[in-house]
Amino acid sequence: MKRIFAIVAVAVLTAAGCGGGGAGGSGNRLSIATGGTTGVYYVYGGGLAKLLSANIPNTQATASVTSASVENIKLLASGKADIGFSQSDTAADAVNGKDTFTSKQPIKAIARIYDNYTQLVVAPGVRAAKVADLKGKRVSLGPANSGTQVVARRVLQAAGINPDNDITKQQLSINESVQAVKDGTIDAFFWVGGLPTAGITDLATSKPDVKVLDTSDVLTTMQSTYGQQYVGLDVDLSLYKLSGSIKTVGIANVLLVPDKMSEQLAYDITKTLFEKKAELAAVHPEARKLDVMLGQQVAPVELHPGAARYYKEKA
């Protein structure tokens, strides 16, 4: 995997040349907005960048480190990124112009790709068995402009905790959260991502007495407040070499593009995503969940016409 990332350059988004329109004889330079370096978005996005570069003529794609969902959508809307990973709840807020977004964002979807799991990690020695037990503790909600923070705040509120007043709030990336647990400077952190997440694997290896809490007790409240986009998912903790299993709040992930992207480029990206599934799954196992029928389920975001053409061909 490290060899793959040696090939896939990590671009600074503000300096990346973007090919959102798919125009130009010199080819497409595509910037993929992902997430933190030890999260699934980054690994998955790096593998996708390599495959797009190899399979779409005159295309060079690069994966970029970001704060994830909210930032990714803002980068797409401003023309600073061409493909972005997002949780579906954040994407829904974006197209409806609500909560984090003050206006409707000009984005379309390529595919639903896999589900994110709310992973609430508690440091060794901290007494907490459920979400409500976090009251009064030092908790990272994820970085600013992240989908993790959107979900974390909603989970806490559903458990009766005010995330601004009832905890000592921090806004750390997955890398920073893992280090903070190792250093003893936080009691718990939220991470909303795929399985396994490399940062949590690293933490569980060095601190085998960490806990991952069950969050299923807040699911019904979240569904009644925010909708059925939140679902219950099972987590086999052996993925992290921990014992047992838990139930947690899940949310789908989608790949997004600017609505102005050319139909042909969006078609080519969608085709590469699905037809190179096996190669992408070798980069991260979450890619095994790619499915043409499931991929079309992106509402309330609209499918890009290029992606819709690919799905119609496969019907």
User: 96, 164, 159, 107: which is closest to 307 by C-alpha?
Assistant: 107
Residue 299: pLDDT over 50: yes
Supply the pLDDT for residue 26: 55
State what percent of residues in the chain have pLDDT above 70.
Answer: 92
Residues 43-83: pLDDT tens digits? 999 999 999 999 999 999 999 999 999 999 999 999 999 99
| Average pLDDT of the segment spanning 22-29 | 60
Residue 228's pLDDT band (boundaries 50, 70, 90)?
Answer: confident
Distance CA 82, CA 20 (A): 5
Distance CA 167, CA 155 (A): 13
Q: What is the DSSP string of 192-235?
A: EE-SS-HHHHHHHHH-TT-EEE--GGGHHHHHHHH-TT-EEEEE
Residue 251, amino acid: I
Using CA atoms in the order 282, 67, 65, 97, what is the torsion angle rounded to 10 degrees?
Answer: 90
Residue 17's pLDDT band (boundaries 50, 70, 90)?
Answer: very low
The C-alpha angle 259, 95, 228, rounded to 5 degrees, equals 130
Distance CA 101, CA 97 (A): 5
Q: Are strands 168-170 and 245-258 parallel, antiparallel or unpaired?
A: unpaired
Distance CA 105, CA 132 (A): 34
Supply the pLDDT for residue 27: 80
Residue 97: pLDDT over 50: yes
Residues 168-189: pLDDT tens digits? 999 999 999 999 999 999 999 9
Residue 84: pLDDT over 90: yes
Distance CA 93, CA 147 (A): 11
Residue 7: pLDDT over 90: no
Sequence-separated (6 or more) residues with CB below 8 Å from residue 217: 130, 131, 159
Supply the pLDDT for residue 292: 98
> Is residue 84 helix, strand or coil?
strand
**Element spanning 189, H or E:** strand 188-193
Residue 205: pLDDT over 60: yes
Residue 10: pLDDT over 90: no
Domains of the chain and CATH, by start: 2-114+254-314 (3.40.190.10), 117-251 (3.40.190.10)
Judged on CB neighbours under 10 Å (0-12, 13-18, 19+), 101 is: middle
User: 97, 33, 63: which is closest to 256 by C-alpha?
Assistant: 33
Residue 225: pLDDT over 80: yes
What's 11's DSSP letter? -
Residue 155: pLDDT over 80: yes
Residue 6: pLDDT over 50: no
